[in-house]
Amino acid sequence: MQQYIMHVDMDAFFASVEQLDNPELRGKPVAVGGTSSRSVISAASYEARKYGVRSAMPVGQALKLCPQVIILSGNRERYKELSLQIMKILADYSPLVEPASIDEAYLDITGTQKLFGPPEKLGATIKKRIKSETGLTASVGIAPVKFLAKIASDLQKPDGLSIIRPEDIQTFMAELPIEKIPGVGKKSLPLFHSLAVRKAADILRYPPDFWKNRLGERGPVLYDKAKGIDPSPVVTESEMKSSSAENTFSEDIRNTEELKKWLLIQSERVATELRRHEVKGRTITVKVKFPDFRQITRSRSINSPTSHAMTIYETGCAILDSLGEIGAVRLIGIGVSNFGKKEVRLSLFAEKDEGRLDELDRAVDKVRDKFGKTMLTRGGLMNLKK
């Protein structure tokens, strides 16, 4: 039986939701992001994209490209509500649905033809139902493997439907730019271009060992993808692999103590999310971005996995201190990864301390859930500039 994977990708999701909820915004350039010029765009409507506005772009740059763009702070709860509704629709057509993010998902639709017709008909059915029940448009890509399904969903955006059949893969890869393959970034493009590799199929001119010597373990994986091979299955329950929080400042910060206060805020946000998912992590990472957009990340692993804000914070501060004098900072963030369900106990005393921290964190979570997140604030944050 021929395998088919479908990738459903909502069109300019955040911006489209804002236009859906506010008819006055329809047909106008809209972007969702922070309200200060130093913030970053999360999503841009197609009207804004015509001017070059795109996600991950600083708001100040977006305003220069499109002075009339309407910048909105967004409504994450509303986005989650619609995302959940869309995922429920997808679950009606396949038991194997893998949410890839808040606005996209993979479906394994192998063997569904007797119920819903051929793949392209099912794609049209899903698009029509999403539009009917949410008022939003989605683009659908269908292919024998996951990475090609994702590429296909982007071919005719917005409101597109594309299918790559097994017999079309060789021809498709012969014309696919190498940078369209997931995992091929801007930094590696010079290497490929120096080898006259510009299309995906050009990779096959060199054997797998050649690519392994130059790219490590991902070399043979890239070779397989150039042949249209991708063994990645659709995973219905994807475990959280990391949790992070970051802030871009309206003005550069040079004071280390003020940066540490932001790390404390972020550590609490991350710790709360970890506890909500009942996971703990051993690796803490600090991210720093400078006014010229240079960026550094540093990580440190601890002996026992944690979901405690103060443990995350103290490790983050140690990482920040290890950087020395770093000057002006545009953005700082902290994250936790390397999750494990079981904790490594160093001693009886460490175990008791962890237990007390667990009880304290659960109590804080209950108070904040009942009375609001601002009900309890650490004393060290009282004078923090917003």
Helix (H) or strand (E) holding 46: helix 46-49
Token pair 């999310």 is at which residue?
A: 273
Could you tell me if 212 and 251 lie in one domain? no
How high is the pLDDT of residue 39?
80
**Arithmetic mean of pLDDT, 252-267:** 93
CATH number reported for the structural domain that contains residue 180 in this entry: 1.10.150.20
Residue 142 belongs to a domain: no
254 with 307, same domain: the answer is yes
Asked whether residue 113 is assigned to any structural domain, the reply reads: no
CATH number of the domain residue 342 falls in: 3.30.1490.100
Is the Cβ–Cβ distance between 288 and 266 less than 8 Å? no
Say whether both 280 and 341 belong to one domain: yes
Contacts of 103 (CB under 8 A, 6+ apart): 9, 10, 13, 14, 79, 83
How many Å is the Cα radius of gyration of the chain?
Answer: 23
Kindly state whether residue 85 falls inside one of the protein's structural domains. Answer: no
d(CA 59, CA 62): 5
Helix (H, G, I), strand (E, B) or coil at 289: strand
Same domain as 373, residue 270: yes
57 and 24 in a common domain: yes
Residues of the chain by 3-state class (helix, strand, coil), percent to 5: 45, 20, 35
Task: Label residue 378 by pLDDT band (50, 70, 90).
Answer: low
Region at 98 (left for phi over 0; alpha for psi -120 to 50; beta for the rest):
beta
* Nearest-angstrom CA–CA distance, 193 and 348: 58
Asked whether 122 and 6 are in contact (CB, 8 A), the reply is yes
Neighbours of 194 (CB within 10 A): 8
Q: Which of 50, 76, 102 is at the close of a domain? A: 76
Tokens (6 digits) for 51: 């001017």
Per-residue confidence (pLDDT) for residue 118, from 0 to 100:
96
Mean pLDDT of 66-95: 94
SS3 call for 29: coil
Report which of 357, 367, 245 is spatially closest to residue 306, judged by C-alpha positions: 357
Residue 207, domain member (yes or no): yes
pLDDT over 90 (residue 357): no
In whole angstroms, what is the distance from residue 15 CA to residue 11 CA?
9
For residue 233, the 8-state DSSP code is P
- Global pTM reads 0.69
User: What's the number of domains the chain is made of?
Assistant: 3
Return the higher-pLDDT residue of 372 and 45.
45
Question: 290-340 pLDDT, tens per residue?
Answer: 988 889 999 999 988 999 999 999 999 999 999 999 999 999 999 999 886
Indicate whether 141 belongs to any domain: no
The whole-angstrom separation of Cα 54 and Cα 68 is 15
Burial class (CB in 10 A: 0-12, 13-18, 19+), 30: buried
Q: Are strands 161-163 and 138-143 parallel, antiparallel or unpaired?
A: parallel
Token readout for 307 is 């979901």
pLDDT tens for 118-136 read 999 999 999 999 999 999 9
- Whose tokens are 């801007």? That residue is 186
Cβ pair 149, 142 in contact under 8 A: yes
Asked whether residue 275 falls in the same domain as residue 218, the answer is: no
Residues 219 and 257 in one domain: no
Q: Do 183 and 284 belong to one domain? A: no
| 246 beta partners | 333
Question: What is d(CA 317, CA 270) in angstroms, rounded to the nearest whole number?
Answer: 15
Structural domain contains residue 319: yes
Q: For residues 353 and 351, what is the distance between their CA atoms, to the nearest angstrom?
A: 5
Strand-pairing partners, residue 339, are 281
**pLDDT for the residue 145:** 95
Mean predicted confidence (pLDDT) in 86-100:
94
Residue 220 CA to chain centroid, in angstroms?
25
DSSP letter string, 188-231: THHHHHHTT--BGGGGGGS-HHHHHHHHTTHHHHHHHHHTT---
Does residue 302 lie within any of the structural domains?
Answer: yes
Q: Which residues are catalytic?
A: 104
Range of the domain at 190: 169-226
Greater confidence, 216 or 162? 162
> Which pLDDT value is given to residue 349?
37
The structure tokens listed for 267 are 């550590």
